[in-house]
Amino acid sequence: MVNTHLQQNSVQDVLDYDREKELKAFDDTKAGVKGLVDNGIVKIPQMFVIPTKLSSETSCSGSPHFQIPVIDLKHIHEGGFQRKQIVEEIQQASETWGFFQIVNHGISEDVMNDMIKGISRFHEQPTEVKSEYYSRDIKKKVRSVSNFDLYQAKAASWRDTLFCAMAPVAPNPEEFPATCRDIVISYSENLKRLGLTLLELLSEALGLNPNHLIEMECGAGHTFVGHYYPACPEPDQTMGTSEHSDPDFFTILLQDQIGGLQVLYQNQWVDIPPKTGALVVNLGDLFQLISNDKFKSAKHRVLANRVGPRISVACFFSTHLQPFNRLYGPIKELLSEINPPLYKETLVRDYVVYYVSNELGTPALAHLRL
């Protein structure tokens, strides 16, 4: 009798559930997921609950065949065989995984640790202080939000985010939050240099002149997203970030030591464990487009965790916030009679607008297929 009563209550709860009302109430607080945790919740709101449990999905880690490549950049400036070997490792990783980690990349651990701390400081401010940055206007160069696709997604993700558009024209320094202003500007300068280096290596990996992708302005703009994943009381019910690929040329990710990032490889979810001093590089949809599917934009996700908060900083190399009118399609030097173009050309901003107008994870490249 008790069970029947509980089932009736559960059915009635579903019938009474007003998702739009819950989403708006959450959004109006401007406190994000951290605000829920600060209020001491022990059960996650229904808006975060995903339809199926994660435990039933195929996952693999530990096997040598399922370990993301780690590439040492120490000798890239020495030329000859050593640089050639690095280029070949990047080529193989880009064709198969779409992901790799890099070490000896020239950015000190102190700078990376300071960036993690800066993003943490921003998110851990009182709501009334950080809420002035809270906005869903994607044209704003500095803003915070919880779930950019909150009103499109079937289930909200367990994270809050600070966005900072950095290049080619950075905002005035005073536009950045004081809690992380100096380190964001410093880290951006480091990432810009590293990004240009990676574009040289990726150009060579495609068999092109080292400056080819730089001349295409693939590194002309970059944006930081500083994610904050609070500890979750029911991590098997939701996601930190749902399955998706990135809408850029490539991404450089800094993650703390908690973990949770996974990449889809050979139809299995593979952990990308934190590695001290390493950065994660993944190719985005626009790179898959210009390489005509030679290189892969891999799907990835972040699991929710009982431990937290987890901090990560993704640097997206894209020009969608800039008034660029350059069309991007498959690189002509890569095409032939047996390798015809697979995609239509697109403006970067048009692609990103299409991407963000849909639920995160919608395969946005599909609409450009010829």
Q: Find the CATH number of the domain harbouring 202.
A: 2.60.120.330
Judge whether 123 lies within some domain.
Answer: yes
State the maximum Cα–Cα separation within the chain, in Å, rounded to a whole number: 78
pLDDT range class, residue 9, cuts 50, 70, 90: very low
Lowest mean pLDDT among 15-29, 45-59, 98-112, 182-196: 45-59
In whole angstroms, give the CA distance from residue 110 to residue 277. 9
Q: Whose CA is closest to 273, among 20, 101, 106, 38?
A: 101
Residues 295-354: pLDDT tens digits? 999 999 999 999 989 999 999 999 876 667 899 999 999 999 999 999 999 999 899 888
Q: Is 139 inside a domain boundary?
A: yes
Q: Is residue 99 part of a domain?
A: yes
Q: Do the beta carbons of residue 107 and residue 195 sit within 8 Å?
A: no
Q: What's the pLDDT at 271?
A: 95
CA distances from residue 157 to 147, 176, 230, 300, 302 in whole angstroms, order as listed: 7, 25, 11, 14, 9
- 9 falls within a domain: no
Q: The whole model's pTM is what?
A: 0.92
- What is the three-class DSSP state of 164? strand
pLDDT at 10 over 60: no
Q: For residue 96, is it within any domain?
A: yes
Q: Which residue in this structure is represented by tokens 């739009």?
A: 20
* Residue 3 falls inside a structural domain: no
Nearest CA-CA partner of 234 in 6, 93, 15, 50: 50
Q: What digits encode the pLDDT tens for the residues 62-90?
A: 555 689 999 999 998 887 889 999 999 99
Task: Quote the number of domains for the chain.
Answer: 1
- Spatial separation of the C-alpha atoms in residues 330 and 320, rounded to whole Å: 18
Domain coverage including residue 106: 19-368
Does the residue 327 lie in any domain? yes
Inter-CA distances, 91 with 84, 144, 240, 271, Å: 10, 35, 30, 21
Where residue 7 falls among pLDDT bands split at 50, 70, 90? very low
Alpha carbons 76 and 82: distance in angstroms, whole number = 7
Q: Is the dihedral of CA 2, 3, 8, 12 positive or negative?
A: positive
- In percent, the amount of the chain with pLDDT more than 70 equals 91
Specify if 268 maps to a domain. yes
> Does the pLDDT value for residue 1 go beyond 50?
no
